[in-house]
Amino acid sequence: MNRLLRIIFILSYVWGACPDGFYEDDNGTCWMPYCYDYVSHAVSYDTDEVDCTGPTEMWVIPGSEGDPYWNSYSDGNCPGNYMADDCGHCWSSFCYSFFSPGLNGDPAHSVYYDLSIDECEGYGYNYYSPDHPSNPYWNSNCTTDCNGVVNGDAMLDDCGDCQSGYCYDYVTHEVSFGACDGATQMWVDADSPSNPYWNASCPECGTGDANNDGTVNVTDIIVMIDTILSGGQPEDLCAFDCNFDGILNVTDVVAVVNIILND
């Protein structure tokens, strides 16, 4: 019996977790059920549970007692005939019938994991290595940061800028990336309060500079009052909202008056 995939299989679709029919272990690797012969130790992924009835065969659900694969492979360490993706998760090659009918009455778009490359191509099918661009499983269970780095630590700040953690030398004030084990070095997380780059490009709000002319004066008060009397709110509330309550009202006008008087 084969493993079936919908036509979307060929479109390099990426799942956020394991594909249907797979089980994810604690290391993030996706495993399929299989038929196991405990005498010959042969493993068959193309045999369905209803056909796994030989006198020395047993059906193995990933994670069940005695499954040697479950939680046994991590950080790029994979069993034979598997390949680790960019996240260190293991995937196997497969044979895909594409639009041709499958074996033994199987429909088109059938997938076989037990066929060798010669057997697969001998049937006129396509054989795909795990890292083939058309393999939707490859890197499918990865997470990427805003820099596109798999399992990276970069994140978006409140301004929408992608920020990365970095190594800071508090004597020389040098910023570097990579190893951070020097005697005067410290690691600064992207969103650390000690990171001056975090939110650095955000506009300064609550300034009272309602007309954006670079100064706070009586003309800003006029703009604010006109806006309040119109019954609306400014499209960009940033400079108007001096008390940061999320709305322009008379308390913001009072705040601007105090800014002018204290200047």
**Domain assignments of the chain as residue spans, ordered by start:** 3-128, 145-201, 218-262
Residues sharing a CB contact under 8 Å with residue 114, sequence separation 6 or more, in sequence order: 44, 45, 46
Residue 188 β-bridge partners: 166
Residue 4 scores a pLDDT above 50:
no
Residue 12 scores a pLDDT above 50:
no
pLDDT at 2: 52
Q: Helix (H, G, I), strand (E, B), or coil: what is residue 263?
A: coil
52 or 7: which carries more pLDDT confidence?
52
Running DSSP on this structure, what letter comes out for residue 44? E
pTM value > 0.75: no
Residue 138: Cβ within 10 Å count: 22
pLDDT at 13: 34
The average pLDDT across 173-196 equals: 93
Question: pLDDT tens across 92-127, in order?
Answer: 999 999 999 999 999 999 999 999 999 999 999 999
224 or 158: which carries more pLDDT confidence?
224
Residue 63 scores a pLDDT above 90:
yes
Residue 160 scores a pLDDT above 80:
yes
pLDDT at 75: 80
Distances from the Cα of 2 to the Cα of 15, 104, 107, 255, angstroms:
21, 10, 9, 72
Return the residue matching tokens 């108007």: 240
Average pLDDT, the chain: 88
The average pLDDT across 136-156 equals: 85
Share of the chain above pLDDT 90, in %: 60
